[in-house]
Structure 1
Amino acid sequence: MRADALERGGGTPAPELRDEAADLHRSLGRFLQLADAHLVRRGEAAGTQDLPLGTDWHWRPLIVRGRIRPGAAVAPQNGQHLGDEVALYHDCPHQALILRQVPNRRAADLAPYALTLEMMGFSGSYLSLALALPADLNPDLGRHHVIRLDATLHSERSIVVYGRLNIAQGPNTETILRQLGHPIDGRECRRTVEFDLGFAELSQRPVDKVWLDLIFEAPRMNAVTVTEAMLSRHPRAEM
């Protein structure tokens, strides 16, 4: 059944046909995201020359590599996703937030896209962006590793941002919290933070899931843009 037939009131589509169309829509959306990312693959190596010796894994989120559709979430619910990798968590009763992907246009930008979070009259007690890390990081991840975040951010007003790495093993989740240096103070700020897993209480069982939270302190009437984000892994120094 064609869409124009539905517009003319031409009957009700079968449930299985609607489900098939929904699956196709999701598949096409994912294809377009990956196709955009493929077009900028030549930029994947940008910035990797500064990674520590022994780095065996590095990754940029799709939201800075390729176009996300839809590209914005206005008045998002708690836990709402933008793309497959990013979710926004908050308790603002008025949902006075806008999360959107924007293009990077400067020649010096390493990533083709950026992520902007606008906070208008925020009245909640917490606000964080959760970034799901890919499963190919998990199989041999252990206490002998350091996970590193290299990010470039700027804000309209000074704001403190924390990074919290979360590692789930069965029913247990180990977390490591680090502040991203000095407050982001209205200028473009490059930040590097390392999460040393040697201090984490990890067991011998496989890692099920890893994600990174960016936590914003006192986010009222502000806007933060992440113009670059890259995560990498290298071995920790042996004592």
Structure 2
Amino acid sequence: MPSQPNKLAAAEYAYRSIRSDIVSGALAEGERLTEERLSRVLGLSRTPVRDAIRRLTHEGFIVRQSGYTTRVARFPEDEMKQAFDIRQMLESYACERAAMLATDEEVALITQYSEEIASLTPPKNEDEYARITEANEAFHRTIAQAARSPRLSALMTMAFDVGMVVRTYRRYSEEELIRSAGHHREIADAIRAKSPEWAGSAMRTHIRAAQTAAGKAQDDAKDEPASK
């Protein structure tokens, strides 16, 4: 769980702490969450915890059920496949547009994030995992911004399940992480070269590889209880 800097707002601290526990598996899929227990564990009032839960629900890490019950989200296999299929279509198109429309500043940012991911791969500790995750999210977010399409951005926001992406990413093997870092670099190269065909193809490859790795991670997770 991250330490609590003095300048970090309580709601942001609660968000990062709960998110970290979900991603690491400290809070298991389907586990019931209560504001009272989380407030006690975090040493915070219920208001910032409630704000954090609302944000994590929007991002897909948490689901609300009937009777105000709140649980850590589960990711059914078919739902995961649909999410990656939709991501491939939307992000590949966004990448093609970014290759044509990205500003020099956006190209520099996309390149910077890809190099940061590469420099931290494979991650050696929790801090480096967190930094890669943040750089990965910023990389994809900047490409969406560079696509210059509010309609596309709205569709991507609805379809993009941050929780699923982050949690499966944490189960990648070292080889898969290195491959993913290479994909980020190639996508950045394609956008910098202003080649929409190359950029779209590189993004499709990246997402398909991510889907394969996520499927393998999900299968491994199913096998874990039986092996204990």
* Structure holding more strand per residue: 1
Between Structure 1 and Structure 2, the one with more helix by share is: 2
| TM-score of the superposed pair, with normalisation by structure 2 | 0.25
Q: Based on CA coordinates, which of the two structures has the bigger radius of gyration?
A: 1
